[in-house]
Amino acid sequence: MLYGLSEVFRDIFHPTQSGTLSELIGKGISRAFHHTRLRPAVGPIALVTVILCWDALLVGGFALIYSGLPADQLRGSFGAMPHSLARRYLESLYASLGAFDTFKTFNLSEQSDWLRLVIAMEGLIGITMITASVSWIVLLYPAYARSRLFGRRVSSLLEAEKRMHTNIVAELGSGLLIELSSAVLQFRLDVILFPILLHFYPTDESATVSHVLPELVRFTAEAGQSTQAECRLSAAQLQVALESLAEVLAARVLHTPAADVSEVFEKFRQLER
């Protein structure tokens, strides 16, 4: 139970380090469905699985508490709790499920005031879990939309550059680089706060951030050779943002040293394919 509460807290309120439950489940499901037709649904499947795991850990933890009570503490319509460990746990799980979502233990009744308090606490945790799950989803999908917009934005710039036979950095200059720097930093923050975000795979590769990151490195190199000081400064800002993102990806996704930005982004791109 305590493990379940700690994982909920880490996933929703303090996801600043790798190893959270959502991250581990996302990686496992992503590997299982990587080369199947279900790959675009990995993100939603992982999201539902994480919420179900939260509930299972909490309900199962409280059931362990109830099953360890003396037989006369939880009484049902047929008398005291059974002595068989398996049946006791099933009855306790039944009571825990009822307390978790309705504050009631159905046909079981608690025989002490402190046990009523524990059941009330489980009900409050259950209500909190509903609110936390909804809040998590509400915050996650805007972050998902931002990452897809970022990928589409850069992909459209690359396509425009190709059609017009021009250099997009030379034409748009520092304004474009500052915009891209903000998008890179936002994506870095979203990856830290929502590790499960990396397991949402669109059907179109051009909509992914991993597809366009190597091109941003090229933008930085081209802008760094500009004769305009403002453009070079903006290029340096984008370079700092890219290095910061590369460190996060290397540590949390690739689990390799962040030696070279281009190398990290290329490995990330291969992983996302």
Using one digit for the tens of pLDDT, what is the confidence trace for 244-271? 999 999 888 888 776 789 889 988 888 7
The structure tokens 């700690």 sit at 6
Buried b (16+ CB within 10 A) or exposed e, 179-199: ebbebbbebbebbebbbbbbb
Mean pLDDT, the chain, rounded, equals 82
Q: Is the pLDDT of residue 242 over 80?
A: yes
Q: What mean pLDDT is predicted for residues 181-195?
A: 91
Q: Binning pLDDT at 50, 70 and 90, where does residue 182 land?
A: very high
Q: Measured between alpha carbons, how far is 16 from 28 in angstroms, rounded to an integer?
A: 20
Write the CB contacts of 268 (distance below 8 Å, at least 6 apart in sequence).
210, 213, 249, 253, 254
Q: Binning pLDDT at 50, 70 and 90, where does residue 111 land?
A: low
Chain centre to alpha carbon of residue 244: 19
Q: Binning pLDDT at 50, 70 and 90, where does residue 79 land?
A: low
Q: What mean pLDDT is predicted for residues 202-214?
A: 82
Q: Is the pLDDT of residue 180 over 90?
A: yes
Q: Is the pLDDT of residue 215 over 70?
A: yes
Q: Is the pLDDT of residue 161 over 80?
A: yes
| Burial status of residue 19 (CB atoms within 10 A of its CB: 0-12, 13-18, 19 or more) | exposed
Contacts 24+ apart (CB under 8 A), 240-243: 240/181, 241/180, 241/181, 241/184, 241/185, 241/188, 242/184, 242/213, 242/216, 242/217
Q: Is the pLDDT of residue 239 over 90?
A: yes
Q: Is the pLDDT of residue 65 over 70?
A: yes
Q: Is the pLDDT of residue 113 over 80?
A: no
DSSP state of 19: -
Q: What mean pLDDT is predicted for residues 77-103?
A: 72
